[in-house]
Amino acid sequence: MTQLRRVRLFGHDVRVSVRPGTGSGPPLVLCNGIGANLELLQPFVAEVDPRIEVVLFDVPGVGGSPMPRVPYNFALLAWFVGALLDRLGYDRFDTLGISWGGGLAQQLAFQFPRRCRRLVLVSTGTGMLMVPARFSVLSKMLTPRRYRDPSYAKAIAAELYGGRMRRQPGEVRHVANEQERLGSGTGYLLQLLAGFGWSSLPALPLIRQPTLILAGNDDPLIPLVNARIMRALLPNASLHVFNDGHLGLMTSADELGRLVSGFLTSPGDQGASSSS
């Protein structure tokens, strides 16, 4: 059963969820997308192999975690997450990042090369130095309105997320739920600022962990070419292209849950070997 708790860390309260695993491997730490609380990844968590312990958290200023005292960047936030994992008693860990959280996951792998065992990057890129989405798409990411206004979220779902949202716009309930209120607009702005000027592109050759890259073939926010660039620059990475859009981790949770579970439970230090 999932355990929800608050952890006090450096004067900050952090809302954390832990789904215990039955195995002995390291936990999977999930880094969420911008503005998203930990509940939004529950469809994926439900599909992860029960042997794998799963840790989720609300970034300060988002969901159930109060506003931070000072602004942060990815390096500072990665240090904070490392301290959080210390407090929870985890020495080693695997990490998965989706969209904005993919930047944080890359930073964790770079800053903690001995602690971070394996890396999963979903619907994400390399920060400021990447092939961007169209301006009409990016402009809709500047505010958290898509989380707070269900009618607006449904109206822009196809253009913003692609994939299954084009065929079934009702699936937008995964990101717009009246019962899952998120953090303040200020918290959202701080997340935007955390990525300003940041890029993992120069550091990718230094990230040695086995890495699984998952990218949708219809992702308006993160064009597929970015996944191919990361695959070329990461020394030990494989790429799987799935038939969905930016939110495939939720809308194709059954397929991606199996892929991630297989990658994390495979023997040795080898990453997944398939690519497409």
- Which positions ≥6 away from 194 have C-beta within 8 Å? 71, 72, 73, 74, 77
∠ CA 259-53-188 to the nearest 5 degrees?
80
- For residue 227, what are the CA distances in angstroms to 66, 112, 137? 33, 22, 18
CA–CA dist 139, 209 (Å, integer): 34
Catalytic residue among 17, 65, 99, 238: 99
Give SS3 for 6: strand
CB 27 within 8 A of CB 48: no
274 noted as active-site residue: no
Q: Count Cα atoms within 13 angstroms, Cβ side, for 135.
A: 0
Residue with the two structure tokens 């990665």? 78
CA–CA dist 228, 18 (Å, integer): 32
- Indicate which residues carry an active-site annotation: 99
